[in-house]
Structure 1
Amino acid sequence: MKNNRLFLDIHAIQILPPSNVNRDDTGSPKTARFGGVTRARVSSQAWKKAMRDYFRDFGSGFQVGVRTLKVLDYVVAKMLEKDALLTEEVAKKKAEDVLKAAGLKLKDGKLSALFFLGAQQADALADAAISGEKDKAKLSKLLKANPEIDIALFGRMLADDPTKNEDASSQVAHAISTHEVQTEYDYFIAKDDLASDDNAGAAMIETNEFNSSTLYRYANVAVHEFLRQMKDDKELTARALRLYIEAFTKSMPSGKCNSYANQTLPQALLVILRDDRPISFVGAYENAVKAKNGYTEESVRRLFSEEKRADKFVHKPVASFCLLADDTWYPSEGEAVFTGNKEKGMTELLDDFSNQLVALL
């Protein structure tokens, strides 16, 4: 690639109405203290799961990994697809042998911890099991080769055997509100439809906790590392990162979505390519935004102000791309630098990004 180091930063401002997309062990919406006040929080794990689901549903031409304890069953299914003469019993025995030879520990047909396995890796293990391969070095190499895009981006860890780990080329921050929040309570009852007329009582009484927020969301990708994971395939890397931006923008954690229908999109999206290091703009919100006419417009204004401040410490961006829901929020000329114009939408932003990235790689 032309730049030895290249980083992708994605920043978003997104409104969540009353909702509880990511809750703790007590059912309360997750929160965090930042800048001396309580903020709404959506964990990186919750949003990465939503992004992986988006990859699977909309990533035409891409396969994604499977995170499971049932790696044995997954490999056996691949073997039976490949060899119609194999019985399930024989396939299971061969698969057990090859997984144990590769260094994966099985008990009652399952691993002791969840393992992230790509479709290409499962195919390779199935072929090795059919052929009776037992060499640990070769099998370990199969487990590392050809990671699917979600494994490459989000990584894989196996505490029992670090040689099976895959270093993540992406980092996803916990989304936090740009302002202070307070948890609220929804009290509700349910009546038994078949209760007698003289029974006016409720069959169920319950409370749900929720909050509403304007979130700052951030993620980055070490593009040079991801390119290496994609075997230096520039077109594949550009297509995968286009999908990554799209998934970051359009995915939504599914917690209690049926209760709150919190199906929103970002109000502001800022995509930046840098040649020195990734930078979060969360510092723009250390001093919590105060409500005037809502939080969004001020949150967007601070996003661009923070970008300008960051330029004092780091290299100028190689390229920047922006999309705002309200045209009046765009900074005036000289306040921020990005390609494109107000008339362009998400598709055009992704096209511009892809073309620029391929030229840089």
Structure 2
Amino acid sequence: MHNFINFHVLITHSPSCLNRDDMNMQKSATFGGVRRVRISSQSLKRAIRTSDAYRTRLGERSLRTRDLARLAERYTAALAEHHPAARVQQAIAWMAGKEGLAEDAEASAVAPWALAEVARMCAAIVAGEAEGLDVKKLQKQIEKDATGFRTAAAQTLDIALSGRMSTSDLMTPVDGALAVAHVITTHAVDSDIDWFTAVDDLVSEAGETGAGHLNTQEFSSGTFYRYASLNLAQLQENLGGATRERALEIAGHLAFLFATIVPEAKQQTFAAHNPADTVLVSFSDLPVSLANAFEAPVTTERNSGFRKPSQSRLFEYWQQVHSGYGLDENPAAYLLDGTKVPEGVHQKGSLAALVEWIGRDGRD
């Protein structure tokens, strides 16, 4: 059975500015000697993790924070029916490697926190209290027996996918099962500048002239290549020994999310809510990016666009890598325009059909 699933997505965005840097300019990268517009992997992952589609398909996400006091307030309310506030605060403090929580308590770094983890720690405290242990002995026992607790506590899905660095002795370090590349355009991009104003209605009504605010915004359009790789065995391990069927179900949902979710930056201004044009998914024995298909930037004939030549370039390069390295893989694709895929690639008539194919372990 293949252990990796590679996701290759081409998505064309109308004029937009989906990811900005500290200078309010579009993020970019030089690749193949030319400037490409870039969307960071962090931006894409957060857009996916916070989307309604993620919540519907994969459940509640963790909370990422270093503000332990606010975290304790949120989780105390969530666990109020089962644990008193003092116990919840104690659990969070121990997990953060602290003696207690002051009003301004902070962890050493921003980290994902899962309600289920805190609930498990509370249960461990209850068990220790039932044995008659005082606070210090109880903490030492939990730290001593923390291996089993850590294993059980690492099962929040977005942590299993993206991983987590350890910030204390009790918080679980997790090697992420999902690797996501920065998204880049398949072609060179020269951005445009929008000079905009905001009208002050009361100033206008008074018969005065002049804007209430004026500024500039960089924007552009383009065809973007998204790539991600999922390590199925790592995901199963991170989820505490989940079945391959469960990992495949998650992989199918990820294919849908990578094809449909767009970062929200400046969307009220540009509304670049564009779904993917091409989704190629491959079961493989190793992660393989096809970004080098676009190392030589795609060019286009006048008025013909970048979508079609980018799609052709993607499949041409896939064939070269597949045959040149004799890869043992099982690929399938959904193409929005219905173009025929190369020999050896299973063609799916809809994104839903591709998702179902993934869930069947690549079997038709």
TM-score, reference length from structure 2: 0.86
- Corresponding residue for 1:30? 27
Question: 1: distance between equivalents of 2:233 and 2:95?
Answer: 32
Q: Deviations over 1:290-323 (max 9, x none)?
A: 1221111000001100111112343434321111
1:225 aligned to which of 225, 229, 234: 234
Find out whether 1:110 has 2:106 as its counterpart.
yes
1:277-288 alignment, distance < 5 Å = 277-288=286-297
Q: Which amino acid is 2:118 matched to?
A: A
- Partner-residue secondary structure (3-state), 2:145: helix
More displaced 10-residue stretch of structure 1: 38-47 or 60-69? 60-69
- Corresponding residue for 1:178? 186
Closer/same/farther in 2, CA of residues 114 and 51 from structure 1, 3 Å limit? same
Q: Deviations over 1:48-73 (max 9, x none)?
A: 11121237744346343221223433
Question: 2: distance between equivalents of 1:30 and 1:201?
Answer: 32
Find out whether 1:243 has 2:253 as its counterpart.
yes
- Partner-residue secondary structure (3-state), 1:200: coil
1:189 touches 1:202 (CA, 8 Å); kept in 2? yes
1:13 touches 1:269 (CA, 8 Å); kept in 2? yes
- Partner-residue secondary structure (3-state), 2:361: helix
2:340 touches 2:347 (CA, 8 Å); kept in 1? no
Closer/same/farther in 2, CA of residues 67 and 105 from structure 1, 3 Å limit? farther
Closer/same/farther in 2, CA of residues 212 and 340 from structure 1, 3 Å limit? closer
Structure 2 runs not aligned, ≥5 long: 130-137
Question: 1: distance between equivalents of 2:77 and 2:150?
Answer: 17
Closer/same/farther in 2, CA of residues 74 and 104 from structure 1, 3 Å limit? farther
Q: CA-atom RMSD, angstroms?
A: 2.6
- Corresponding residue for 2:308? 297
Find out whether 1:355 has 2:363 as its counterpart.
no
- Partner-residue secondary structure (3-state), 1:113: strand
Closer/same/farther in 2, CA of residues 26 and 105 from structure 1, 3 Å limit? farther
Closer/same/farther in 2, CA of residues 309 and 161 from structure 1, 3 Å limit? farther
Q: Deviations over 1:13-55 (max 9, x none)?
A: 1111111111000000100000000001000000011121237
More displaced 10-residue stretch of structure 1: 74-83 or 258-267? 74-83
Percentage of identical aligned residues: 25
- Partner-residue secondary structure (3-state), 1:246: helix
Structure 1 runs not aligned, ≥5 long: none
1:67 aligned to which of 56, 64, 68: 64
More displaced 10-residue stretch of structure 1: 8-17 or 242-251? 242-251
2:95 touches 2:169 (CA, 8 Å); kept in 1? no
1:336 aligned to which of 333, 343, 347: 343
1:104 touches 1:111 (CA, 8 Å); kept in 2? no
Q: Which amino acid is 2:228 matched to?
A: A
Q: Which amino acid is 2:330 matched to?
A: A
Find out whether 1:53 has 2:50 as its counterpart.
yes
Question: 2: distance between equivalents of 1:308 and 1:104?
Answer: 58
- Corresponding residue for 2:134? none
Question: 2: distance between equivalents of 1:127 and 1:250?
Answer: 39
Question: 1: distance between equivalents of 2:149 and 2:74?
Answer: 15
- Partner-residue secondary structure (3-state), 2:323: coil
Q: Deviations over 1:213-268 (max 9, x none)?
A: 11011000111221222313233212211111111111111111111101001111
Closer/same/farther in 2, CA of residues 121 and 352 from structure 1, 3 Å limit? same
- Corresponding residue for 2:213? 204
- Partner-residue secondary structure (3-state), 2:210: coil
1:111-126 alignment, distance < 5 Å = 111-126=107-122
2:72 touches 2:89 (CA, 8 Å); kept in 1? no
- Corresponding residue for 2:274? 264
Question: 2: distance between equivalents of 1:56 and 1:273?
Answer: 24
